[in-house]
């Protein structure tokens, strides 16, 4: 699977690198909510992609074998891989938005998010 590109630079108020997206402190929460809604939808799509990628042949006969081996499973796996990449990208973007909002580094935000999931 190809590597997921990092999110563009994010600036909240005067904090963060220029050259990407810039949000006011008042609007960043709304942007984070929209990206989290997108992530929820992508997770639903990811579950559907898993079903497609693991479809079983109805019988062990040439037509079913050909359909599964040359069509459904390879296409389903591509769909699943692309959804995994998109979920990862959106997670990375949400982390970067939160880090910019909190005026900390992305690594610090990842650590905060990780601790939040454990406790």
Mean pLDDT of the chain: 90
Within 10 Å of residue 97's Cβ, how many Cβ atoms? 25
Domains of the chain, residue spans:
35-111
Instruction: Say if residue 92's pLDDT is above 90.
Output: yes
Residue 2 pLDDT level (bands cut at 50, 70, 90): low
In terms of phi and psi (left: phi > 0; alpha: psi -120 to 50; beta: otherwise), the region of 4 is beta
Q: Is the pLDDT reported for residue 99 higher than 70?
A: yes
pLDDT digits (tens, 9 = 90+) for 9-64: 998 888 888 889 999 988 999 999 999 999 999 999 999 999 989 999 999 999 99
Q: What are the CA-CA distances from residue 9 to residues 1, 61, 92 (Å)? A: 24, 53, 12
């Amino acid at each position: 699977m190809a590597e997921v590109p990092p999110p563009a630079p994010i600036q909240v108020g005067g904090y963060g690198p220029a050259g990407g997206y810039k949000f006011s402190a008042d609007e960043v929460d709304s942007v984070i909510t929209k990206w989290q809604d997108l992530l929820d939808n992508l997770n639903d799509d990811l579950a559907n992609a898993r079903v497609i990628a693991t479809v079983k042949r109805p019988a062990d006969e040439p037509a079913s074998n050909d359909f599964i081996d040359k069509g459904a499973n390879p296409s389903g796996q591509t769909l699943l891989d692309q959804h995994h990449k998109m979920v990862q990208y959106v997670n990375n973007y949400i982390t970067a938005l939160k880090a910019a909002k909190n005026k900390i580094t992305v690594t610090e935000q990842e650590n905060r998010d990780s601790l939040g999931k454990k406790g």
